[in-house]
Structure 1
Amino acid sequence: MTPKIAALFPGQGSHAVGMGADLAAAFPVAEAVYAEAEAALPGLRALIETGPLEDLTLTANQQPALVAASVAAYRAWQQKTGLTPMVAAGHSLGEYSALVAAGVLTLGDALRLTRQRGTLMQQAVAPGDGAMSAIMGDPAVVAEVCGGIDGVQTANFNAPTQTVISGTAEAVATASAELKLRGLKAIPLKVSAPFHCALMTPAAVGLSPDLQATAYGPFTFPVVANVTAELNDDPQRVPELLERQITGAVRWVETITALAGMGVDTFIEFGPGKVLSGLVGRIVPGARTIGMGTAADVNAFEL
């Protein structure tokens, strides 16, 4: 019986120098992705293949680089297997990769949009003015505490007991201290900006004209939107959902729960790293997860 596959695409933090190079060497469709990435954003391919890591890590570079690596893995897998997922989802930036896989965004448009998205997000807040922290514990307590402190909000619902908060450095520190008093654990994150909070409003406003001007094709399969945790198969809704995503929370727990409720029995993470596979395992214990980030992964894939 054909598995019910959800294609998952990672966000920032999963990058690595050299990611996807073996895929490009082994699969012509993956090579074509990297060639198109270089044509759209000259210099990006060299940065992906040889670094340096500190330059690849810059938000404006990391975002399109991860789109390229994730789409290369997806297209290599699809060419090798002939399979198509029933649905897709991406974590934050990964939503752009999911939309490329679904045929809604062209690769070139996704690369250009994420380069602009990363640039605007980096410019929205001065270095040191914002912060993010991962909170381990009851998300209801996190929401309650953040609701009582100006300048901080929940940014990522990553797992049942892992919620990321984001906002001004002062507000995040205040909320983290209060959460620790309530018995939760707070871990400051090394990030270049406070993503998925109101401080990103200038980035959302700045990207809006580009999102509105982009052409969106029909969905081959639906994509779960980050900000709603609901299926979308309407191209006309994509610009608004992607704009809201910049300041809104990534509702990953609800997303994976919804996919499991649809009958998905296989979650495949396309791109470098295994972050999403780990989160899926915490949200749906016992779920079948497969990492698809290298040529060996693609060649070893079995139903």
Structure 2
Amino acid sequence: MPPKRIAFMFAGQGAQTPGMGRDLYDASKAARAIFDQADEALGRAISTLCFQGSTDDLTACANCQPAILTMSLAALAALQERVAVKADICAGLSLGEFAALYAAGVFAFADVLKVVAERGRLMDLACQQSQGGMAAIIGGERDVIEKTCADCDVDVANYNCPGQIVISGAVAPLQQAMAKLAAAGYRVVALQVAGAYHSRLMAPACEPFAKVLANTVLQAPSCLVAQNVCGALVSAPDAIRTNLCRQISGSVRWDECSQLIQQHADLALEFGPGAVLSGFLRRSNRAYPVASVNSDKSLDAACALLAP
């Protein structure tokens, strides 16, 4: 029997929870090393933020983005401490794309932490320049949602999975779009976020972030990498840079990334707090094997999935 092809998926912003990663730190030497190295690389106690930070502490992009990244990579390290496993394809949701690129050898560890911390800072600044929000549309038709967004002058932020699309924009037009979609019979859920992520309102962050990436070394990936903004496999470092900049204000095409995962891997492992991406994948294909690595206890299920 040929070896199993494995996908690594990494959680995005919004998955953060107070106390995340504490049990991994206590139980795994490899996970502890990731947290300690992150604290040193950033010159701030990201580990304390993860373990003791409040929900409010973990809301700002400048805090939650490096915190989720660190916790996700600690979960990966804890699993690799138990079993020798490498990815055939990597992908992550929005912020999670940076963890995926690190796992694929594109970024050095200290570099990816510093890039993500700056990304979070720039996105916080963009949020302060506008009043925006986001809403999840459950069960709607894609073409209807897209037309409503165009009519109301808001953007599609995320194509998460069949039956779930997130829209984003300035408060007044967003509320108009939400009302229209609710009147069409769709379930509309306002999201508790600090701004209109993955919309044109994030554009002020794009140019300064491009300068950050221009001064950061990126290597060609060691495995397949699916990027959000194009929903396609990308291997050239310059193209990866461009897509990371576009992603800040562009749509996250996670549904297409999920399809690529299913085409190129026999099972998927999700790293980071929560299990959002595993849920999206199951909605797309209930039979597809997937496990979430988000705690020390969860490592057992992941190891069982990897067993021959």
The answer to whether TM tops 0.5 is yes
> Within 5 Å, which residues of 2 pair with 1:110-149?
110-126=112-128, 129-136=131-138, 137-149=140-152
Q: Does structure 1 conserve the Cα–Cα contact (< 8 Å) formed by 2:25 and 2:35? A: yes
- Per mean C-alpha deviation after superposition, the further-off stretch among 80-89 and 16-25 is 16-25
Q: Does structure 1 conserve the Cα–Cα contact (< 8 Å) formed by 2:76 and 2:271? A: yes
Q: Distance in 2 between matches of 1:40 and 1:104?
A: 18
Pick aligned residue for 1:215 from 214, 217, 229: 217
Stretches of structure 2 that go unaligned for 5 or more consecutive residues are none
> Within 5 Å, which residues of 2 pair with 1:94-109?
94-109=96-111
Stretches of structure 1 that go unaligned for 5 or more consecutive residues are none
Describe the SS at the equivalent of 1:215: coil
Match of 2:24 in 1: 23
Q: Distance in 2 between matches of 1:165 and 1:26?
A: 39
> Within 5 Å, which residues of 2 pair with 1:1-303?
1=1, 2-41=3-42, 42-126=44-128, 129-136=131-138, 137-150=140-153, 152-262=154-264, 264-300=265-301, 301-302=303-304, 303=307
TM-score, structure 2 normalization? 0.94
Q: Distance in 2 between matches of 1:261 and 1:83?
A: 19
TM-score, structure 1 normalization? 0.95
Alpha-carbon shift at residue 223 of structure 1 (Å): 1.2
Describe the SS at the equivalent of 2:185: coil
Describe the SS at the equivalent of 2:223: coil
What's the % identity of the aligned pairs? 36
Describe the SS at the equivalent of 2:31: helix
Alpha-carbon shift at residue 218 of structure 1 (Å): 3.0
Residues 22-42 of structure 1: per-residue CA shift (max 9 Å, x gap): 222222221111011101221
Describe the SS at the equivalent of 1:148: helix
Q: Does structure 2 conserve the Cα–Cα contact (< 8 Å) formed by 1:127 and 1:193? A: no
Q: Does structure 2 conserve the Cα–Cα contact (< 8 Å) formed by 1:139 and 1:162? A: no
Describe the SS at the equivalent of 2:57: helix
Describe the SS at the equivalent of 2:128: coil
Q: Does structure 1 conserve the Cα–Cα contact (< 8 Å) formed by 2:9 and 2:91? A: yes
Alpha-carbon shift at residue 160 of structure 1 (Å): 0.9
Q: Distance in 1 between matches of 2:220 and 2:293?
A: 25
> What amino acid does structure 2 have at the position aligned with 1:178?
K
Q: Does structure 1 conserve the Cα–Cα contact (< 8 Å) formed by 2:130 and 2:201? A: no
Q: Does structure 1 conserve the Cα–Cα contact (< 8 Å) formed by 2:127 and 2:194? A: no
Q: Does structure 1 conserve the Cα–Cα contact (< 8 Å) formed by 2:199 and 2:249? A: yes
Q: Distance in 2 between matches of 1:26 and 1:245?
A: 35
Q: Does structure 1 conserve the Cα–Cα contact (< 8 Å) formed by 2:268 and 2:290? A: yes
> What amino acid does structure 1 have at the position aligned with 2:282?
G
Q: Distance in 2 between matches of 1:56 and 1:149?
A: 31
Describe the SS at the equivalent of 1:60: helix
Q: Distance in 2 between matches of 1:160 and 1:191?
A: 23
Describe the SS at the equivalent of 2:166: strand
> What amino acid does structure 1 have at the position aligned with 2:292?
G
Residues 128-162 of structure 1: per-residue CA shift (max 9 Å, x gap): 71011111111221011112222x01000011111
Describe the SS at the equivalent of 1:158: strand
Describe the SS at the equivalent of 1:218: coil
